[in-house]
Structure 1
């Protein structure tokens, strides 16, 4: 019997229905098609009151393997919940910032846009670096020759046109 897909795990847990009041979006390497075997299912959410989301998540998942719930000390004190279900690790990020303003969402949008424009050549180079242990954002910025902090460099591309991103891609050797 094969392991369930990440989409099956999302469906079986009912997580998106449960989190519907908090504008949930699945992000990260799985929907981008650049996941590694240990990749988790990342979900970003918006909650004006993260405590309400914490209560809902606690009630639904506190008895599940690997469950943890904590708050960051960063601005807005976002909430993080982790657990395992259907053979998949989940990570839920809940912020008082709207999803569109969250770095995790913005990086996902840019990465998806870059992969759509850069095709298999970009995907292969990013995956090579990821398989060597590099995180996603640093892998993208390394392949594209972007300098500085990889998270800031990728975030700076959010909202750029396809033409702007295509210029970056075509200026990259080996792409």
Structure 2
């Protein structure tokens, strides 16, 4: 069981794709370059529910958008398929950079919100608990739905019969007592 997703060392002992992700993150010093922005890996690769299309999602917290944009551009614009865009998500200004490195698509997602409080990271922690509670068969069902084209949160919501917006419905589980 992974106790601390903030320390990437768990990837070294994971499945083949997690080990490859660890190599990419460390060899290219992605977290070192993003260190001022509290980088955290989120998404499906840490949970081993990824598909071939899954990317490395790195959430970051910025205080000054201009400094963050400049830093991300300086460090990553030379990578293939680099993009950088601004979007408002849930009323929060967000910066999204993408590029490819060693067979992985990387997405850097930055908001002026502490990384560990951003929705993507919170979703991952909730999904981790659910995977532990519901076991391997449930995990395989999530993967099967993802292979059918479902996004991660809608796949969980489908299997758990959650009502409404799957992203919001999962966050509501964060407040549930143990054993939800």
Residue 119 of structure 1 aligns to a residue whose secondary structure is: helix
Judge conservation of contact 1:113–1:162 (CA < 8 Å) in 2.
no
Aligned to 1:96: 112
1:102 Cα shift? 1.4
Q: Does 1:42 align with 2:57?
A: yes
Find 2:48's aligned residue among 12, 33, 42.
33
Aligned to 1:117: 133
1:159 Cα shift? 3.6
- Distance of 2:152 and 2:47 partners within structure 1: 11
Q: Does 1:145 align with 2:161?
A: yes
Where do 5+ consecutive residues of structure 1 fail to align? 166-175
Judge conservation of contact 1:29–1:39 (CA < 8 Å) in 2.
yes
Where do 5+ consecutive residues of structure 2 fail to align? 1-15
Q: Does 1:79 align with 2:95?
A: yes
Name segments (4+ residues, structure 1) moved above 6 Å: none
Q: Does 1:105 align with 2:130?
A: no
Distance 1:97 1:50, change over 3 A: same
Aligned to 2:37: 22
1:99 Cα shift? 1.8
1:49 Cα shift? 1.3
Question: For each residue in 1:138-174, what CA deviation from the matched residue of structure 2 results, as whole angstroms up to 9, or x when unmatched?
Answer: 00010111111111111111243332x2xxxxxxxxx
Aligned to 1:172: none
How large is the Cα RMSD of the aligned pairs?
1.6
Residue 73 of structure 1 aligns to a residue whose secondary structure is: strand
